[in-house]
Structures are given as C-alpha cells and as structure tokens.
Amino acid sequence: MGERIDSRAYDRTDDRMQEMKQLAETLREASRAYYAQDREIMSNREYDRLYERLEELERITGVVLAGSPTADVGYEAVEELPKERHESRMLSLGKTKDREELREFLAGREGILSWKLDGLTVVLHYEGGKLEKAVTRGNGEIGEVVTNNARVFCNIPLRIAFTGALILRGEAVITYSDFRRINEENAETEIRYKNPRNLCSGSVRQLDNRVTAGRRVRFFAFSLVEAAGVDFENSREKEFLFLREQGFEVVAYRRVTEETILDAVARFEQEIGTYDVPSDGLVLAFDDLEYSRSLGTTAKFPRDSLAFKWADEQAETTLREIEWSASRTGLINPVAVFEPVELEGTTVSRASVHNVSIVRALRLGVGDRITVYKANMIIPQIAENLTGSGTAEPPANCPVCGGRTAVRQTNDVEALYCTNPDCDAKKIKAFTLFVSRDAMNIDGLSEATLEKLIGKGFIHHYADIFHLDRHRSEIVEMEGFGERSYQNLIGNIERARKTTLPRLLYSLGIENIGLANAKMICRAFDFDWERIRRADAEELNEIDGIGAVIASAFCGYFADAKNEAELELLLPELSVETEQMPEGEQPLQGMSFVVTGSLHRYPNRNALKEEVEKRGGRITGSVTSRTTALVNNNTASASAKNKKARELGIPVLSEDAFAAQYLQE
C-alpha cells in the first residue's frame, strides 16, 4: 500500500493556491494603477502586507505562479511612447525594516547609505558629451523612450565634459514644494494631485514636453552603469564624485561602516521632516565595486544592495466619526476623525480615507479601534482596523443640501457624489472661487461668511453679491459682523466691480480653466468677450496649452442656458477694463504655427515661441485647418503631424526655412 494522501492537506494546498492567485491579481492591478495609470487603489502599507503574504505562501508551497508580482518587476510600458529594451535588466531591491539587519549586511565592509527616492527611475545615455537618450525603467527589461521630456528636466546637464559613452540611472522626482505650488495653482479648479510620485510619473511620460517643463521635474543620479575608460579605483563613491563633476545632482548619501551605520540611519531619520525630495526609505550598497559584482543577483534582487523602509510609528485610537465633505464638483470625500494621538512629534486626529472603496476595504465603523501612522512620517493614514465592524455606510443624503447621493464607480474605485445640481456646497465652492484673490478679489467674503449669506437666502446668483446692501440690517446683526465690517465689505464689493477679462473668465469656475489658461484664451481672441463666449472647440484647440478636454468644458459651459442666464445678470454689474494688444509691427498677426521635433537655431521651443509671439503669431500644439505652417526639421518624416499637415495642404518647413520666410532671419 502506498502512502495515503491526506485530503485535508490537499484542501489546504488548494486553498493556498487560490489565495495566491487572488493576491497576485490584486497586486498586479494595484501596480498597474500606480505605475501605468497614476492612480492609487490601496495604501502602500496594504500593498506591502499583501505582497508579504504572497511571499509567505510561495515559501510554504514552493510554487511561484507565472505573472506573480514577486517574479515580475515594475509595470508594462504604455503604448503612447516608443519602447526600448534596456542593455541590462533593472532589478528591484530586497527590503528590510530592521536596522540591525542593515548593520549585519555590511559584514565588516564599508558601504554607501543614501536616500531611496520616491519618483520614476530613468536611464540616461550620453555620447560625445551630449544627452542622446532617456528611457524609463518600465518593467525592468523594456522601458519608454522619454528623451524629449528628459531634456526639460530642470536640473539635467544636456552637455557634459566627459565625451565617452556614459550610461547612468537615477530618479526623476517632483519636490514637495513644487508639488504644493502646482496644487495651489490648480486649487480653484479642483485638479488636485494626490502625491508627488504620481504627478512625476505622469509628467515624465507626457507626449508634450512643455507639460513636463512646467512641472519642474528634477533628476538625481543613484547608479553609474558605464563610463568608458574611466578608472574609479574600485569605489562606488568615486563614481558619485565623477557624476557630480559632470554636473549631475547625485542622491544624498553617507559613507558608513558597521560601527557608524546606525547613527547614519538616525541622522537621515531626523532630516525627513524638512527634506524636500520625496523619499520612502534608504538604500545601502557596498562601496567596493569588484566585491559587489562578485555577489551576482537572485532572480529578482541584486545581492550587493538592500533597501531600508522606515518602521512607521503607530498609535492605537478610537474612530469617533467619518466626516463627509462635499465639494463644488459634487464629490463627497470621507475623512476619519479619531481620538487625538501623538505621532512623529505632532498631535493628529484626522486622516483622509479618500473614497468609498477604502472605507469598505477597511471595514470602518464608529467606535472601532484603529491603528494610525504617518506615511513616510508625514501624511496621517489608517494602518489597520482592529475591530472591523463594517458599520459605516455612505450617507444617503448630502450633508450640505440634503439631496440624494449616489455611489459611482470609475474603473475599480467607488466614490460618493451629490446628485443635486443646485447643492449649496456646489454654490459655496463656486462663490468662494468667484470672490477669490485671482478672480473678483472681494476681501471679507470667506467661505464661512458665504455659507451664512447663502444659508439666509441673500445670495443665489453671482450678481446678488453686488446687491448685498439690500440686506444691510440683517448682515450687521450676524455673528462676527457689525457696522464697520459691513461697510468694509460693501466697499470691497464696489471696488471689485472694476475688473479684467481674464479675471472674469477665471471667476466663472469653468472646469480646468485656471487664471493662466484664462489669460491665454483672452489673448488668443484679442480680449473680445463676444468672440470668447462664442468660440468653438476647434478654435480653442489651436491655443497653446488648451487641449480637447479643456475646450470641451469651455464650450459646454457657454452652451448651458443656465450659465448664459447667470452671465446676463452678472455682466451689467461689472466694468471690464479693455486690454490693448501689444503695440508695434505684428507681421504674424492671426497666424498660428506648430513646432515638432528637435531644434538647432534655438535652444528650445520656448525661445522660438517668444520670437513668434513678439510678431503677433501663436505656437499651438496640434495641426488643424487654421495652422499656417508646421515646423519640422525632418520635413520628410512620416509622423502623424507631417501626415496631417500634408492632408490639409499646410506647408511643412524646416526651422531655417521658417525663420527665413516668417521671421526674416
């Protein structure tokens, strides 16, 4: 008789295999959203927990399924950019949260301890002292070619002293300060990016490098792959010093030994709160290059380096409530409010939960015991729900207007919306934008004050703001008001009657129209209000920086009868200053040009754009029937823009021919 199969053991293995398949699919979807679509459907902590569970099951079963995230590296390159295979495979790093494991890793040797930056890895190739190619990490084997975008990174050297073949790797990042600036500029349009990493990923992989340039992407070198003919005396630090000499910013690092590494980790930890570059840990690598090469790699990790992730300080607390906050777009965001706790030296009592999907995944309920932490020691997050009551449900009615709500699913994320088009929250946010500094600039009308005035029925339309004097007796009796406050407010309102066309256009709250876009649109239509409000999508698409999405929102706004009625009430209340177009000869007035490919007469496209605009012309992003000429030094190219120009009978000119014909240079 052979050994009998234990059916219970077989069932356990089958259950484990099913769990592994589910985990693999969940993790792949999270990676796809995070890397390829710039979305986040779970927290980093949850991803790590699931990943570690999958690794554990693979160890127990001895099986690694095809397509497992523990075997695959990174994301699959999207189709919009050319793809290219890396000369050598780019591996992930092994990870630890144990400081003592870092010390033991050195085993008596010297190492280089540096920040592990949280952006998008890019490989740069230089030949003859010039940047020839930039490729994203992609899936570790095949990446996306982003050379034009790399050329506009704000700190990258386009030429270097070294003229041999040079290949290096580094991290493209957007600093916290620039991230805050970009979100502040978009604050009134509610295009607010979730984190610098996602914004950087999208910025580096743009099809139009003007967008990349505006995001101030920075590049920090962290690894030298090849530098033909250079002797680095067997030292990784000497490689860093060489790269610095060539003009590269190198990731901040410290040289360490077994005796000094714990102190070095502590010093990095102290710097987290003020360090402007996004980081999610540290990297330890041996300084000895020959020893590093001798160690080889596993199927997934190099053996000569190790990533250290911070063990987040956690605190246990009680969930008091879930606050649902409505916005002017109708989105209602959940915020967890809990008993205050001390984390990383500050008191925290609130954490964004982002959407309905995460509320449900955490099985939240009032009174639950939860653990909270600060992601990367900065952003409060819920780590785990110890109770898991699952009693929290999205409110059926909007917390502001009482209208019905609806849960809507976009891809795999569920979010809550107010369905009432006349929701007061939408009005409050819209009016807050209307009176803001860059719009009508009415000081004294804070969001809280507007909420009171709208609640009392004094404001229903923008025009009503200019007639608040009709409610003088009620306003002076309001809490926080009095005669002096009232008079100051009325004075500010009267001064706001005199405004400019860009301010007026911005104040209307058209989706994605910030002040900068409003100025561009006004300039493109010679500050003619009737031409602006009657503009069609094709005309708007010709304006530099105005794409199909913005054009659609703009046209949709003015096509809406309610909005037209709102404007009919508002315009008589205002005195709009007439702005003059620049004086002087404007030989290119009314002409628009598209520029594609590399330039040689001008250092960049902005320089050429300035020359065209000085003469009254415009540079636009796409070829249309109104394009005067397409500038492309590769006039015989089969590119989409060349093809479109030929179909429309638009001349394709080299840079020199364009300069001679239109700029008289």
CA nearest to 332, candidates 431, 432, 399: 399
CA angle 185–189–193, rounded 5-degree value: 65
SS3 content of the chain, % helix, strand, coil (to 5): 40, 20, 40
CA angle 498–184–376, rounded 5-degree value: 165
Residues in Cβ contact with 40 at an 8 Å cutoff, skipping those fewer than 6 apart: 33, 34, 194, 195, 198, 354
Exposed (0-12), middle (13-18) or buried (19+): which is 123, by Cβ within 10 Å? Answer: buried
Exposed (0-12), middle (13-18) or buried (19+): which is 329, by Cβ within 10 Å? Answer: middle
Q: SS3 for 84?
A: strand
Give the position of tokens 């190099």: 302
Quick check: is 116 catalytic? yes
Please name the residue ranges forming H helices in 465-528: 472-476, 483-496, 501-507, 515-524
Report yes or no: 452 and 444 within 8 Å, Cβ to Cβ.
no
CA nearest to 593, candidates 639, 650, 640: 650
Q: SS3 for 133?
A: strand
Given the residues 21, 83, 95, 116, the one annotated as active site: 116
Q: How far apart are CA 174 and CA 120, in angstroms?
A: 10
Give CA separation, 361 vs 355, 365, 385, 389, 544, in Å.
Answer: 10, 12, 10, 11, 43
Torsion angles phi and psi, residue 123, rounded to 5? -105, 125
Category of 524 on φ-ψ map: left (φ > 0), alpha (ψ -120 to 50) or beta: alpha
Give the position of tokens 């906050």: 325
Q: How far apart are CA 174 and CA 117, in angstroms?
A: 10
Q: How far apart are CA 358 and CA 42, in angstroms?
A: 7
Report yes or no: 246 and 162 within 8 Å, Cβ to Cβ.
yes
Give the position of tokens 């607390």: 317
> Which residues face 410 on adjacent strands?
413
CA nearest to 173, candidates 281, 278, 273: 278
Active site residue ranges: 116
